[in-house]
Amino acid sequence: MAKQSLKQIKTESTKKELTPREVVRELDKYIIGQDAAKKSVAIALRNRWRRQQVPDNLREEIMPNNIILIGPTGVGKTEIARRLARLSNAPFVKVEASKFTEVGYVGRDVESMIRDLAEIAVANVKTEKTSEVRDRAKILAEERVLDELIPMKLPKKVKTENPDNGEEDEMRRQTREKLRKMLQGGDLEGKTIEVQVNADTMPMMQVFGPFGSEDLGANFQDLLSNIMPKKTKTRRVPIPEALKIFEQEEAQKLIDMDGVVKEALQRVENSGIVFVDEIDKVASTGGETHGPDVSREGVQKDLLPIVEGSTVMTKYGMVKTDHILFIASGAFHTAKPSDLIPELQGRFPIRVELNSLNEEDFYKILTMPENALIKQYTALLATEGVEISFTDDAIREVAKVATEVNEQVENIGARRLHTIMTTLLEDILFDVPDTITQKQVRITREMVHEKLSKIVKDRDLSKYIL
């Protein structure tokens, strides 16, 4: 019996769980190079699934392969983690370790990352469940609009005073069906009906302002909104909007929130991914006994129990962090991974270096990924009926300029491509559709040169523009 259920789980999860090679292949669609990093995140992801197949007693012993990604800015560290989470449909949060350094209430407490993760997971599961019930919610919403237009059930009083209305009932039914057809055909879009909507009590909460009302808020906001009487008010809205409001309300009623929360917490515990950026900024370099190093070490010490595995209280319930995958990242220019406190180092056994990107990489990044910048701009201009194209040597020129500016000014990796492309295309983006009316625009090497070379030569100018 137990055997069979294990087998069932296996066949079910193999369907969607990618093998390490498949993960790398998926990541390749978005990220150029960085093969070592792709490989280790792929293994870490698969190991987590493998762990779930291991018999109970051993399973709890197997720890996640937490990873430190080491590399300069803008080379794909965050992008790899983000894509990985999306691939595996895992709840994902990105936090900056340095955010926790500020002392006092402005700095966020470290556990908030787990609360955020729970929040995201609940939202994801809720969205999934909502789309599962959407068809039914639509039908129910339609019913409610029809109820407003032509009530099927007459008030009891009218019925008892006037018992013989079978004929009238039938007429009502027919009219209702006619109206339903019109509703479905969109013929009632101009009409309005009255709906009861929840009067918003939330705006008041904004008073708490910018300092971490979300921390304070986790339970507090909920509490308040539960204490306050739910006010409703009547509003007259166009029928399409009413349909939307009803659909949401009906979907809300159809999904089982307890089930959503249960599934979400289970996903957080077994497949959550926390990306801790700028971990090097909390490594202490001097070995001082006071000052900033102490506060940095403090953050590491706060991180430790969460990474090691502890239980965090969220507003949805307890979350065990033992099997959450932590991917840390940092440039480690001055500090080294060995400057982290030993316990934390031990919790991040895998270190991978990412390479800085060269001209050839930039050329590929501009063209190959599914979200490549050239593809993005082509799609943007296509909405205006303009077909933009780039000659191959124009793209090479952009890559070359990006490399030059990175060398001269500051190396910000692939982010440089964004600033260069916006500068390059600024005039076109501004002039379409008013003064550029031709259907095709071709960007050549000369145009790139003309537009960018002056700025590149002038270091001061490029500091500001590119």
Ligand X SMILES: Nc1ncnc2c1ncn2[C@@H]1O[C@H](COP(=O)(O)OP(=O)(O)OP(=O)(O)O)[C@@H](O)[C@H]1O
Q: Applying CB under 6 A, which residues contact ligand X?
A: 31-34, 73-79, 277, 331, 365, 369, 413-415
Smallest gap from residue 357 Cβ to ligand X (A):
6
Smallest gap from residue 204 Cβ to Mg ion (A):
36
Smallest gap from residue 54 Cβ to Mg ion (A):
33
**Which H or E run contains 238?**
strand 232-238
CA distance linking residue 388 with residue 38, whole number of Å: 33
Q: Which is nearer to Mg ion, 75 or 344 (CB)?
A: 75
Q: Which of 367, 168, 138, 315 is nearest to 242 (CA)?
A: 138
3-state secondary structure of 350: strand
Smallest gap from residue 412 Cβ to ligand X (A):
8
Smallest gap from residue 407 Cβ to ligand X (A):
17
Q: For residue 197, what are its two tokens? A: 């909507």
Q: Which is nearer to ligand X, 75 or 319 (CB)?
A: 75
**C-alpha distances in angstroms, 277 versus 237, 281, 348, 375, 418?**
46, 9, 14, 28, 21
Q: Which does 32 bind (CB under 5 to 8 A by kind): ligand X, Mg ion, none?
A: ligand X
Q: Which is nearer to ligand X, 328 or 414 (CB)?
A: 414
Q: Which of 49, 47, 25 is nearest to 35 (CA)?
A: 25
Choices 72-80, 195-203, 287-295, 349-357 (CB under 5 A): range interacting with Mg ion:
72-80
Smallest gap from residue 299 Cβ to Mg ion (A):
18
Smallest gap from residue 277 Cβ to Mg ion (A):
5
Q: Which is nearer to ligand X, 75 or 265 (CB)?
A: 75
Q: Which does 272 bind (CB under 5 to 8 A by kind): Mg ion, ligand X, none?
A: none
Smallest gap from residue 68 Cβ to ligand X (A):
12
Q: For residue 339, what are its two tokens? A: 């400057």
Told to check if 78 binds Mg ion by CB under 5 A, we report yes
Share of the chain residues as helix, strand and coil, in percent rounded to the nearest 5: 60, 10, 30
Q: Which does 394 bind (CB under 5 to 8 A by kind): ligand X, Mg ion, none?
A: none
Q: Which does 107 bind (CB under 5 to 8 A by kind): ligand X, Mg ion, none?
A: none
Q: Which does 413 bind (CB under 5 to 8 A by kind): Mg ion, ligand X, none?
A: ligand X
3-state secondary structure of 319: strand
Smallest gap from residue 34 Cβ to Mg ion (A):
13
Q: Which of residues 166-225 bind Mg ion (CB under 5 A)?
A: none
**What is the pattern of x (binds Mg ion, CB under 5 A) and - over residues 296-325?**
------------------------------
CA distance linking residue 273 with residue 81, whole number of Å: 8
Q: Which does 414 bind (CB under 5 to 8 A by kind): Mg ion, ligand X, none?
A: ligand X
Residue pair 113/274 in contact by the 8 Å Cβ criterion: yes
3-state secondary structure of 299: helix
3-state secondary structure of 311: strand
Told to check if 355 binds Mg ion by CB under 5 A, we report no
CA distance linking residue 12 with residue 20, whole number of Å: 18
Q: For residue 69, what are its two tokens? A: 């990604």
Q: Which is nearer to ligand X, 355 or 408 (CB)?
A: 355
Q: What is the DSSP string of 244-284?
A: HHHHHHHHHHHS-HHHHHHHHHHHHHHH-EEEEE-GGGGS-
Q: How many beta carbons lie within 10 A of that of residue 133, not counting itself?
A: 17
Q: Which is nearer to ligand X, 161 or 370 (CB)?
A: 370
Q: For residue 91, what are its two tokens? A: 């709840």
Count of residues that interact with Mg ion, criterion CB under 5 A: 1
Q: Which is nearer to Mg ion, 82 or 315 (CB)?
A: 82
Q: Which is nearer to ligand X, 83 or 108 (CB)?
A: 83
The b/e string for 403-427 (b: 16+ C-beta within 10 A; e otherwise) is: bbbbeebebbbbebbeebbebbbee
Q: Which residues bind Mg ion (CB under 5 A)?
A: 78
